[in-house]
């Protein structure tokens, strides 16, 4: 029977056997939420890139270039990592080269560890993700992107929300999964308040953001799409 | 003002600044629980040792040698890692060289990262630990020993129990601390059941242990002692 595990940060992924498993990459604030919005808007493909320097090169090849480090847009790039930026209808049909502090790093590492499939999870597409997972006959790793390899609470809450929906289809022998689900069960009616206490939300408050990215990223099922890696690109 | 952080596994400790902070090493099942029992019995000192091979050498120097790997006593050693073994009154006044899968590793790493003080935490000595921490004017890291660098739930529950008692004395900007405390708050009346669902408890069940180490290690305040590193030794 298939298993499901939760990995709290990319730093811990090498301790797990990812080869041949589906890896769901989770970066609620904000990369994987933003990617869902981008595809909902009609973006054709997203190229996840490890470094800011590499990402910049793709400007020469008709890509829109997007880069975020430490929660802010990197100077000289077309776009940052706020989901609101990706609602612009002019993005339809475009290719984006994308690098972020945590989310794109988690995707690249999952590739290196030979995951059978890498898909993008966020509250915005939780139901389509869960239904798709149930229909695959494969073991699953829910990979939280965290913050610079440290644990974060918003990605864990999402892992717990997924487990809450689909755990009966899997064997669970993973304390991180057990904890995530308890955390979600306890917090599900108060998620926004808890996430606002998180270290990353405080980072946003300090940055004095004009948009309420936290509230936006906690909405469930805003889109019916499931971005997944096909070769080097995220596509539908 | 002083801070308190929770680190879920030794693999993540290098991401934190441990230098100059108190590190509380936590390995509820079972190393830090067992160490508390040993000192309560009257053991003079414990030498934490990294490897089984190194630990064996100390037999030549009038140490009792103790080794556990994968939850079982290593062949050729005097003792394993069950707290019940350390209640033997013949241990009073003795020196023990001790190596375990997770706990002694966490102690050695904390030394390497230049913690100002390294102390041993378990439910068995939780109140004396908390009172001591409050009286130090230093920042604290609660270091969960985990299982082979993976997250475990019993160490996290203990970190949450400590936070529940002393959080008002510290600044908390750590999502792992936030999660640990929610987990403990939710589970505090049902800890034994939750820990019995953990991966490590299942390991014990498979080993068909004669003693109920899980139940024993979840008792609060069985001893008023606080083992701490003094040079290379754990002592009172």
* Closest CA of chain B from A191, distance in Å: 12
Whether A68 and A99 have beta carbons less than 8 Å apart is answered as yes
* Minimum Cα–Cα distance from A174: chain B residue: B199
Give the residue-averaged pLDDT of A126-136: 98
For residue A203, the chain B residues in CB contact (below 8 A) are none
Give the residue-averaged pLDDT of A193-219: 84
Confidence band, pLDDT 50/70/90 cuts, at residue B199? confident
Confidence band, pLDDT 50/70/90 cuts, at residue B205? confident
The pLDDT value recorded for residue A208 is: 65
The pLDDT value recorded for residue B208 is: 65
CATH number at residue A129: 3.90.1560.10
This model of the complex carries an ipTM of: 0.94
Give the residue-averaged pLDDT of B91-104: 96
| Among A residues 141-160, those touching chain B with beta carbons less than 8 Å apart | 147-153, 156
- The sheet carrying B228-230 orders its strands as B4-7, B140-144, B22-26, B117-121, B228-230, B233-235, B45-48, B95-99, B64-69, B72-73
For residue B182, the chain A residues in CB contact (below 8 A) are 183, 186-187, 194
The total number of structural domains in chain A stands at: 1
pLDDT at B210 > cutoff 70:
no
* Chain A to chain B Cβ contacts (< 8 Å): 82
| B204 or B114, greater pLDDT | B114
Q: Residue A97: which H helix or E strand, with range?
A: strand A95-99
| A200 or A13, greater pLDDT | A13
| Among A residues 202-231, those touching chain B with beta carbons less than 8 Å apart | 202
The pLDDT value recorded for residue B102 is: 93
The pLDDT value recorded for residue B8 is: 98
DSSP strands (E only) in B8-151: 22-26, 45-48, 64-69, 72-73, 95-99, 117-121, 140-144
Confidence band, pLDDT 50/70/90 cuts, at residue B229? very high
For residues A103, A104, A105 and A107, what is the CA-based torsion angle, rounded to 10 degrees? 90
pLDDT, mean over chain B: 95
Asked if B187 and A187 come within 8 Å (Cβ–Cβ), the reply is: no
% of chain B exceeding 90 in pLDDT: 92
pLDDT at A232 > cutoff 80:
yes
Return the axis-axis angle of helices B31-41 and B103-112, rounded to nearest 10°.
Answer: 90
B66 touching A (Cβ < 8 Å):
no
Backbone angles phi, psi at B8, to 5 degrees: -75, -25
Give the residue-averaged pLDDT of B58-65: 97
The pLDDT value recorded for residue A210 is: 64
Give the residue-averaged pLDDT of B210-224: 92
Range of the domain at A84: 4-235
Give the residue-averaged pLDDT of A212-235: 96
pLDDT tens per residue across span A100-121: 999 999 999 999 999 999 999 9
Give the residue-averaged pLDDT of A83-90: 97
Closest Cβ opposite residue B15 in set A149, A182, A202: A149
- The sheet carrying A95-99 orders its strands as A4-7, A140-144, A22-26, A117-121, A228-230, A233-235, A45-48, A95-99, A64-69, A72-73
pLDDT at A204 > cutoff 70:
yes
Give the residue-averaged pLDDT of A136-158: 97
Whether B8 and B174 have beta carbons less than 8 Å apart is answered as no
């Amino acid at each position: 029977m298939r298993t499901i595990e939760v990995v709290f940060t990319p730093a811990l992924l090498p301790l797990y056997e990812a080869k041949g498993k589906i890896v769901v990459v989770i970066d609620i604030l904000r990369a994987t939420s933003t990617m869902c919005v981008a595809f909902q808007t009609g973006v054709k493909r997203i190229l996840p890139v490890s470094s800011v320097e590499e990402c910049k090169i793709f400007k020469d090849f008709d890509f829109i270039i997007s880069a975020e480090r430490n929660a802010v847009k990197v100077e000289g790039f077309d776009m940052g990592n706020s989901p609101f930026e990706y609602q612009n209808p002019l993005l339809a049909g475009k290719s984006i080269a994308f690098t972020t502090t945590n989310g794109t790093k988690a995707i690249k590492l999952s590739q290196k560890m030979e995951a059978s499939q890498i898909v993008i999870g966020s509250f915005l597409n939780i139901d389509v993700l869960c239904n798709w997972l149930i229909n695959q006959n494969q073991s699953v790793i829910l990979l939280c992107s965290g913050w610079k390899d440290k644990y974060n609470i918003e990605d864990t809450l999402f892992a717990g929300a997924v487990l809450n929906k689909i755990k009966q289809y899997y064997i669970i022998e993973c304390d991180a999964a057990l904890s995530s689900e308890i955390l979600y069960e306890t917090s599900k009616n108060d998620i926004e308040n808890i996430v606002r206490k998180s270290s990353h939300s405080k980072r946003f408050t300090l940055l004095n953001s004009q948009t309420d990215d936290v509230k936006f990223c906690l909405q469930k099922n805003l889109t019916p799409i499931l971005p997944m890696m096909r070769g080097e690109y995220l596509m539908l």
